[in-house]
Amino acid sequence: MQTVHSVSQVREYVRGWHNKGLSVGFVPTMGNLHEGHLSLIKEAHARCDVVVVSIFVNPTQFGPNEDFDRYPRTLDADAAALVDAGTDLLFAPSVDEMYPLGQNQTWVDVDNLGDYLCGASREGHFRGVTTVVSKLFNIVQPDVAVFGEKDFQQLAIIRRMAEELCFPVKIVGAATSRESDGLARSSRNGFLSESERKLAPRLYRQLQQLKADIEAGERDFRALEKRHGEALDQAGFQVDYLTIAEARSLAPAGENDTNLVIAAAAKLGQTRLIDNVSLAVVRTP
Ligand code: PAF
């Protein structure tokens, strides 16, 4: 595996591969890699001849009171894991390399989809994500890019952005990777105390219970959100949102919607966890 830090070096490698007719898969990350990231890399390998991974903790997607400074930076361990995973190129740029003119003046922003779920409480977050992902797509010029379904809203927004801006890249969603107790793998799980870690899988269980309630015929979505949100609060979470959304628009689902995602964000202490489950509702005539 080669590790490079500059835009021009990435372009040189990728140009060489494309000239040889090789397809390039891309997995953008913020590092602190875990098995979830490795499953994305595996997916990229299954679809492409070579795989590029970026590690960049992107400042423009963190709000002023969020965890940019304490976000774990573990480049040496990450690079070792990437070698084991058969990665061809690691792009690990500095903030200056990605934002050479300082404060960004050019933004990529997707309307509407960013207004709901995490977007409602993390102002500017998705604008930071879409801006940096656009830059990374322009730098790496991949044929395929793989993102985790744990970040359901991020994936939906990136799909929309890539389609509307005609990026010549296929966006692939990979299933959420989970610990044996169901907790969705996340770099932020490392912040959980022992007791918080024990409680954390409850989030996924609650979403599954809600899904089971819908499958059993309950259709008052707002009442279900309230009941299951309160149950999480009582268990010790601070719920940011628990929403039954229409899976394409991400707007709160109505009783006639059939393609649903149940998504939640909740804090345990200082650690914000997100998770989601999808379901298709069969409408009875
Ligand atoms: O999902 C992430 O890790 C980040 O949001 C991403 C896509 C790498 C952009 O910084």
Entry pTM: 0.96
Checking if the pLDDT of 118 tops 90, the result is yes
The pLDDT value recorded for residue 282 is 84
Looking at domain 187-276, its CATH superfamily turns out to be Pantoate-beta-alanine ligase, C-terminal domain (3.30.1300.10)
Cα 211 to averaged position of ligand 1 atoms, centre (Å): 27
Q: Are 50 and 25 in contact (CB under 8 A)?
A: yes
Q: Tell me if 274 CB under 6 Å of ligand 1.
A: no
Cα–Cα distance measured from residue 30 to residue 22, given in angstroms and rounded to the nearest whole number: 26
Question: Would the CB of 58 count as within 6 Å of ligand 1?
Answer: yes
What is the 3-state composition of the chain as percent helix, strand, coil, each rounded to the nearest 5?
Answer: 40, 20, 35
Residue 285 has pLDDT above 70, yes or no: no
DSSP state of 178: B
Mutational pocket test of ligand 1: of 39, 127, 129, the residue with most ligand atoms within 8 Å of the beta carbon: 129
Confidence of residue 87 (pLDDT cuts 50, 70, 90): very high
Q: pLDDT digit string (tens) for 145-166?
A: 999 999 999 999 999 999 999 9
Taking a C-beta distance cutoff of 8 angstroms, is the pair 49, 168 a contact? no
Of the pLDDT bands very low, low, confident and very high (cuts 50, 70, 90), residue 64 is: very high
The ranges of the chain annotated as CATH 3.30.1300.10 are 187-276
CATH 3.40.50.620 residue ranges for the chain: 2-174
Best residue among 71, 151, 187, 189 to mutate for probing ligand 1, ranked by most atoms within 8 Å of CB: 151
Q: What is the largest CA-CA distance in the chain?
A: 59
Read off the pLDDT of residues 166-187 as tens digits, 9 standing for 90 and up. 999 999 999 999 999 999 999 9
Structure letter (DSSP) for residue 67: S
At the top level of CATH, which class does the domain 2-174 belong to? alpha beta
